[in-house]
Amino acid sequence: SDLHGWKISAQAAFRYYDYPHQVADDPELNTLYETGFTANLHVERRLTHWLTLFADYQFEHTFSNDSVEQYAVNTVKGGLQWEF
């Protein structure tokens, strides 16, 4: 959306993966599966007709019956975009 010159967008996603030919840490747990959640936030502001300031944030969390496949991560980036 556009709010007083600011553009803000958000997105969220849920995913599920089932790997029928791979086993998890414990073979008694059957096949490997993974579920995950991702959320993104993007904010930008046009400073001039050719220069835009932006920032992005992403959160991702993955769950699995294999401990090696589990993780949580936060990513932040920002910068200036120059259009010519």
pLDDT in tens, the chain (84 residues): 566 789 999 999 999 988 877 766 666 667 788 899 999 999 999 998 899 999 999 999 999 888 888 999 999 999 999 998
Task: Write down the pLDDT at residue 28.
Answer: 65
pTM score, whole prediction: 0.76
- The owner of tokens 């496949």 is 69
| Sequence-ordered strand ranges (E) for the chain | 2-3, 6-23, 31-46, 51-64, 71-82
Task: Write down the pLDDT at residue 29.
Answer: 62
